[in-house]
């Protein structure tokens, strides 16, 4: 064990009381965040290093806290501009800590990660973009990513979480008017790992946001989305959660800027033994009249061992059958991720 391990409670200093209070909010009551503050990690303290890695194939970015590895194909793509906040003259005088709020636990990333990586998509892209979030052992990595999709464009993005220790990612997706984002998320953490993921999604007028979440548990996962739905926008959220003998917690917040939008949600949770999942909705006001919401669970303990894989497959099939990409180039990685998720143990 490294001698450089720092207790999170001590590292946070004056912010600890706020975050300790934040962790007791009703939406986090079942997550057990209070246990996190006593744990010890190596805290990444270097400035953001963005490395163009010629060995990465396809449109790929690997986010390891402050270290960003980007494929040459993605960096050189004519319709993708990659920058960081330290390079942006408009942000030189801004304080990244100002975006921290104790109302949302994962925003502690703004306290630790002072530089934000930004992907500005300004044209049609022929392949999906893969964004992988990783950690090493004994570390607590934080990252802030902004994906801005210009007006009228259609993008497919695949998120991959593979943590070996503690990971906190804040990703801001900005969908400008008439744009569309088809987002897929795969969790493949080690059992001892922690993941805190916050997606802050701004869906502008007439934009469309769809998300399929494939969640496998580790020691603890907190996956939180905050969706700002505007006039005539569309939001579709699908989820397949299989925590194994670990924990996976989902929070979905809806903050409408208009009541004229469409909303569809279908989450399927598979639980058995010591495995635990939770789903917590947070809606400001009311959902639109024609909204559809379904959160259902399959309890494996009710079935004999030899029937469980079949039951899981049938239970999740209405979502997994829809988990496809519209692109035909650069999709093998997506379907490999899907296949691994469907290898039920």
- pLDDT of 1 reads 52
3-class SS letters over 231-260: CCCEEEEEEEEECCCCEEEEEEEECCCCCC
CA-CA-CA-CA torsion for 134, 137, 141, 145, nearest 10 degrees? 0
- pLDDT of 96 reads 73
How many Cβ atoms from other residues are within 10 Å of residue 316's Cβ? 23
- Under a CB-based contact definition with an 8 Å cutoff, are residues 247 and 221 in contact? yes
pTM of the entire structure?
A: 0.95
- pLDDT of 86 reads 64
What string of pLDDT tens digits covers the 345 residues of the chain? 566 899 999 999 999 999 999 899 999 999 989 899 999 999 987 777 889 999 999 999 999 998 999 999 999 999 999 998 766 656 555 677 888 998 999 999 999 987 889 999 999 999 999 999 999 999 999 999 999 999 999 999 999 999 999 999 999 999 999 999 999 999 999 888 999 999 999 999 999 999 999 999 888 999 999 999 999 999 999 999 999 999 999 999 999 999 899 999 999 999 999 999 999 999 998 899 999 999 999 999 999 999 999 999 999 999 999 999 999 999 999 999 999 999 865
- pLDDT of 84 reads 83
Token pair recorded at residue 256: 């409408």
Q: How far is CA 130 from CA 57, 63, 70, 324, in A?
A: 10, 11, 10, 15
Which residues, 6+ apart, have CB-to-CB distance to 15 below 8 Å? 100, 108, 111
- pLDDT of 259 reads 87
């Amino acid at each position: 064990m490294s001698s450089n391990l720092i207790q999170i409670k001590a590292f946070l200093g004056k912010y600890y009381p706020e975050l300790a209070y934040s962790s007791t909010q009703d939406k986090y009551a079942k997550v057990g965040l209070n246990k996190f503050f006593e744990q010890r990690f190596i805290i990444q303290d270097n400035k953001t290093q963005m490395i163009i890695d010629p060995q990465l194939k396809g449109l790929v970015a690997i986010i390891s806290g402050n270290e960003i590895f980007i494929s040459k194909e993605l960096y050189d793509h004519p319709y993708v501009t990659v920058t960081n906040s330290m390079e942006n003259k408009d942000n030189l005088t801004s304080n990244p800590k100002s975006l921290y709020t104790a109302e949302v636990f994962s925003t502690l990333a703004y306290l630790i990660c002072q530089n934000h990586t930004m992907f500005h998509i300004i044209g049609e892209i022929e392949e999906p973009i893969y964004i992988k979030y990783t950690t090493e052992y004994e570390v607590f990595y934080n990252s802030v990513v902004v994906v801005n999709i210009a007006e009228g464009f259609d993008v497919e993005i695949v998120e991959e979480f593979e943590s070996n220790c503690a990971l906190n990612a804040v990703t801001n997706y900005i969908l400008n008017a008439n744009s569309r984002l088809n987002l897929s998320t795969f969790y493949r953490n080690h059992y001892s790992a922690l993941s805190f993921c916050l997606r802050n999604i701004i869906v502008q007028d007439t934009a469309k946001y769809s998300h399929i979440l494939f969640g496998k548990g580790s020691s603890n996962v907190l996956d939180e989305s905050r969706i700002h739905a505007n006039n005539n926008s569309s939001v579709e959220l699908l989820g397949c959660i299989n925590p194994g003998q670990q924990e996976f917690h989902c929070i979905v917040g809806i903050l409408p800027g208009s009541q004229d939008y469409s909303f569809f949600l279908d989450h399927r949770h598979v639980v058995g033994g010591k495995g635990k999942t939770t789903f917590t909705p947070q809606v400001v006001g009311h959902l639109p009249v024609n909204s559809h919401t379904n959160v259902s669970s399959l309890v494996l303990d009710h079935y004999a061992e030899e029937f469980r894989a079949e039951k899981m497959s049938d239970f999740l099939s209405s979502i997994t059958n829809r988990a496809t990409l519209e692109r035909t180039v650069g999709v093998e990685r997506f379907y490999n991720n899907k296949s691994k998720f469907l290898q039920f143990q």
